[in-house]
Amino acid sequence: MIYKALKQRHITVSLWAAGVLLELPADMERYVHHLTQPLRSPPSVVREVEQADDMQGGRVPAYTAPPVAPPSDGPPVVTVDHLYSECGGDTQGHEGDWPWRCERCGQLVADLLTTLRVGCHDHAPHGQGGLTFNDVFVLGNMKCDTDTTDDHPYSPAAFIRGLESRGVPTRKVDRHDTAAVRQLAEVTSAPTGEERAAGRGRDEAVTVANENIVWGLERPIVVYLDNVWDSLCCADPTGRVRSMSRSTAQVIWVKYVKR
Ligand SMILES: [Zn+2]
């Protein structure tokens, strides 16, 4: 639509887009260039994103090697097993079918954040603070809208209860709340450090959101709530690309493990 409107006006412009699947007019395809270098995530995260069905199947172009080798592999991806049983097996306190319906998973992730010193203000080497709760995205294919009731199958209420029971403040972001989404972007990319700091200072909390509203954004820590059984032996078609790839450092992968 944008392309056609600009072409009719004989306007030449370069458009950058993130997280889109393009359906292009044939006469435009030769002008398209894909930025495929993994500039955001460390190699440890890139390897997991590359396993996504979308990337394996070619719907999303594969990564290419960066021109300069990354200085390190990055921290290894940490996994939390969400145990699910349809036939009464021991799930070790996990409940609900999907991870976002599980309070126990929320507690385990909160413990990991504590281990990573997120939200702790007791260490500030050289005058710099550590990671805050604003540096964390919790992402998956759940519904975080204000009209989603807590008992809705896609509500993350139980997972949030688990986080908050261990002292981790949370903020759900409604996909229709453009002001809230804009604020997430300001924390990421406001033009000055002062503005980014102001964005970070507002309501320090872990952001819980559907993976489809954070395209183009990033955080040091991404908690990815998977909803594909590991026993199906297939990669999540979209979640890895849309969630894990938001991470600039650490991924915590809550895996859906059927017993
Ligand atoms: Zn669980």
How far does the centroid of ligand 1 lie from the alpha carbon of residue 223, in Å? Answer: 13
Instruction: Kindly tell me if the per-residue pLDDT of 232 is higher than 70.
Output: no
How far does the centroid of ligand 1 lie from the alpha carbon of residue 23, in Å? Answer: 38
pTM of the model: 0.86
pLDDT at 68: 86
How far does the centroid of ligand 1 lie from the alpha carbon of residue 159, in Å? Answer: 8
How far does the centroid of ligand 1 lie from the alpha carbon of residue 83, in Å? Answer: 6
d(CA 56, CA 235): 9
Q: Residues 98-102: what's their mean pLDDT?
A: 94
Instruction: Kindly tell me if the per-residue pLDDT of 49 is higher than 70.
Output: yes
pLDDT at 190: 56
| pLDDT confidence bin for 192, thresholds 50/70/90 | low
Greater pLDDT, 138 or 30: 138
Residue 168 within any structural domain of the chain: yes
* Model pLDDT for residues 68-93, shown as the tens digit of each residue: 888 899 999 999 999 988 888 889 99
Greater pLDDT, 220 or 16: 220
Q: Residues 158-179: what's their mean pLDDT?
A: 95
Residue by residue, what is the 3-state secondary structure of 83-119?
EECCCCCCCCCCCCCCHHHCHHHHHHHHHHHHHCCCC
Place of tokens 């997991």: 48
Residue 85 within any structural domain of the chain: yes
Greater pLDDT, 173 or 124: 173
Instruction: Kindly tell me if the per-residue pLDDT of 193 is higher than 80.
Output: no
pLDDT at 45: 96
Q: Which domain range does residue 111 map to?
A: 39-258
How far does the centroid of ligand 1 lie from the alpha carbon of residue 140, in Å? Answer: 14
Residue 224 within any structural domain of the chain: yes
Residue 251 within any structural domain of the chain: yes
Residue 105 within any structural domain of the chain: yes
DSSP label of 59: S
Instruction: Kindly tell me if the per-residue pLDDT of 217 is higher than 50.
Output: yes
d(CA 204, CA 222): 16
| pLDDT confidence bin for 124, thresholds 50/70/90 | low
Residue 1 within any structural domain of the chain: no
User: Where do the DSSP E strands lie in 85-238?
Assistant: 136-140, 170-172, 206-210, 219-229
How far does the centroid of ligand 1 lie from the alpha carbon of residue 243, in Å? Answer: 18
pLDDT at 28: 75
Instruction: Kindly tell me if the per-residue pLDDT of 200 is higher than 60.
Output: no
How far does the centroid of ligand 1 lie from the alpha carbon of residue 162, in Å? Answer: 10
Residue 31 within any structural domain of the chain: no
d(CA 256, CA 259): 10
Residue 6 within any structural domain of the chain: no
How far does the centroid of ligand 1 lie from the alpha carbon of residue 186, in Å? Answer: 32
pLDDT at 27: 77
Reported as type and span, the H/E element at residue 4 is helix 2-8
How far does the centroid of ligand 1 lie from the alpha carbon of residue 246, in Å? Answer: 23
Greater pLDDT, 164 or 226: 164
In terms of Cα–Cα distance, which of 186, 180, 196, 208 is closest to 113? 208
pLDDT at 42: 95
Q: What is the mean pLDDT of the chain?
A: 85
How far does the centroid of ligand 1 lie from the alpha carbon of residue 127, in Å? Answer: 38
How far does the centroid of ligand 1 lie from the alpha carbon of residue 226, in Å? Answer: 11
Neighbours of ion ligand 1 (CB under 5 A): 82, 94, 102, 104-105
Q: What percent of the chain has pLDDT over 90?
A: 48
Instruction: Kindly tell me if the per-residue pLDDT of 199 is higher than 70.
Output: no
How many domains does the chain divide into? 1
* CB neighbours of residue 148 within 10 Å: 17
How far does the centroid of ligand 1 lie from the alpha carbon of residue 101, in Å? Answer: 8
Q: Residues 45-57: what's their mean pLDDT?
A: 90
pLDDT at 22: 65
pLDDT at 236: 62
CB-neighbour burial class of residue 125 (10 A; exposed 0-12, middle 13-18, buried 19+): exposed
How far does the centroid of ligand 1 lie from the alpha carbon of residue 181, in Å? Answer: 28
CATH number at residue 54: 3.40.50
How far does the centroid of ligand 1 lie from the alpha carbon of residue 45, in Å? Answer: 22
